Structure 1
């Protein structure tokens, strides 16, 4: 395994996302869940089947989990830059 591939894989598995990425994930999840609920309800009414409704919503929720749950690099585009640590002086 090459070093760059290994480094990229470790960065992906580390799980860092920034505050803007968290906001983006929240907005994607809200929109997708509402859209999936409306779509699955309409299709379920058209087919007169509750199992179709829950099936479509379940598939949509699973796809949404694949999109928002892993810490994709697109969710860490604005990393927080911390101030350098101050050297503490012993109490006198």
Structure 2
């Protein structure tokens, strides 16, 4: 149960955010170009928008969930500093 909860927790690292942004841009640009040409050759706006909708759904399935590939570089934070100890060290 913990593995399933961790899968959908939603945390991704900074490298994963960059990767998701790059994937989104590539998928949307490729989808736009391919849907334009598919609609142009079919002479149909229905084909154009249907193809673009498929690429948007594909992109959403690849980008929105926090897949493990987006969590490969976790951020190592510094441990918390006790303010009482740090105040004593300063004096």
- TM-score (structure 2 length as normaliser): 0.90
RMSD of the alignment, in Å?
A: 1.4
Equivalent of 2:79, from 75, 84, 87? 84
- TM-score (structure 1 length as normaliser): 0.89
> Residues 44-83 of structure 1, C-alpha deviation per residue, up to 9 Å, x if partnerless?
0000001100000001101110110001111000000100
Moved over 2 A (4+): none
Q: Which residue number in structure 1 is paired with residue 25 of structure 2?
A: 30
The equivalences for 1:1-92 within 5 A come to 6-89=1-84
Q: Which residue number in structure 2 is paired with residue 3 of structure 1?
A: none
CA distance in 2, matches of 1:73, 1:16: 10
CA distance in 1, matches of 2:9, 2:40: 43
CA distance in 1, matches of 2:38, 2:54: 14
**Which of 1 and 2 has greater Rg?**
2
Task: Flag structure 2 segments of 5+ consecutive residues without an equivalent.
Answer: none
